[in-house]
Structure 1
């Protein structure tokens, strides 16, 4: 059964604690956190100090997406801040398999993300070592972009490879997903779907959560 992971990038940064508590009260299980360094992507968001500050206010699983140029350097900081999943970009790692093993050795789940231009074939040899594969359906760095349809083929391929080889990774999709295409994304194979501006357009997160889950599972 597919589920949503709201992206804190689209929340009100002036009241992050209240936003996190409201999401928790709405029954959200996974919170997606985009950490950007201004190098791997052109934008800058937040890092371990902010994640640590909001960690104390919720029991949600923190799905931390590292859009940073040197992820290994900061792994311990993100783990200590409370990450439950650490996802690194294939394109940011010289030896992605080693990075995935380092993350797992720290007791958290290891995820691998691919940009829109990166084919699934590039990461096939790594699928047995990852707990999550994140397909970017926009170019990483900014919220509010349009969905790139070629992501659907990647989701389908990852789902088939998972079944064929008995892999246990979660297939995740992120970028440009809203009420008009979320079911299509789930049908393609996404099990965890990041929702950004489409989710946060209302203050009633309880109803918004029910609405998106009804689209996925209704």
Structure 2
């Protein structure tokens, strides 16, 4: 499955990029929320997400790179989020925040940064629907894929299989057409791609190429 990251959209003509996602039948729309504190960048808040919701029926895959995400969960649910993913070290009570997300009837995920260990899954896997493996350091689009991330995907896949979990694996950062199949074959279910799609000459055709590659 492919989740185009709108952080790389042309925001002077964002409807055109949403039309491309709609026509290419993207599986998700990946929305990065950054607060300038947890990561050194700022994106947008719930009010902008609610405006995006008017442009598509595709499920919103909302990635919160913010401190104290529990304060904003309900706002993003109301804005149209279908999945909300948080970072374990961004909230004081991780289990409580995961349960808060799920209390609204949507899916919950946790994100693991490149240098973070996988031991957090020992205590959270049974409560979450998605593990987001960051294959770049979070905060900016257009970064190069960290090669060790492929091994991390394989390791997470083993953990999920051993637990007989239905949790999905998503990979975000530096995904291109020339490395997507390698990451997918390592065990990823969802690939996030931003600049590879919206930096291409034809985003619609590029999304379709990703989908055909991952069949």
| Distance (Å, rounded) in 2 between the aligned partners of 1:153 and 1:208 | 26
Q: Which runs of 5+ in 1 are unaligned?
A: none
Are 1:119 and 1:154, in contact at CA under 8 Å, matched by a contact in 2?
no
Are 1:91 and 1:114, in contact at CA under 8 Å, matched by a contact in 2?
no
Which of these residues, 141, 146, 149, is aligned with residue 148 of structure 1? 146
Runs of 4 or more, structure 1, over 3 Å off, are: none
Per the normalisation by structure 2, the TM-score is 0.96
| Distance (Å, rounded) in 2 between the aligned partners of 1:21 and 1:166 | 38
**Aligned twin of 1:98:** 96
1:118 Cα deviation from its structure 2 partner: 0.6
Which of these residues, 94, 108, 111, is aligned with residue 110 of structure 1? 108
| Distance (Å, rounded) in 1 between the aligned partners of 2:128 and 2:136 | 22
Which of these residues, 184, 191, 194, is aligned with residue 193 of structure 1? 191
SS of residue in 2 equivalent to 1:160: helix
**Aligned twin of 1:125:** 123
Are 2:4 and 2:30, in contact at CA under 8 Å, matched by a contact in 1?
yes
Are 1:162 and 1:169, in contact at CA under 8 Å, matched by a contact in 2?
yes
Per the normalisation by structure 1, the TM-score is 0.95
1:203 Cα deviation from its structure 2 partner: 4.4
1:95 Cα deviation from its structure 2 partner: 1.9
120-129 or 201-210: which moved more? Answer: 201-210
SS of residue in 1 equivalent to 2:12: helix
Q: Are 1:83 and 2:81 matched, yes or no?
A: yes
Aligned residues: 215
**Aligned twin of 1:183:** 181
Are 1:172 and 1:192, in contact at CA under 8 Å, matched by a contact in 2?
yes
Q: Alignment RMSD, CA only?
A: 1.2
Q: Which runs of 5+ in 2 are unaligned?
A: none
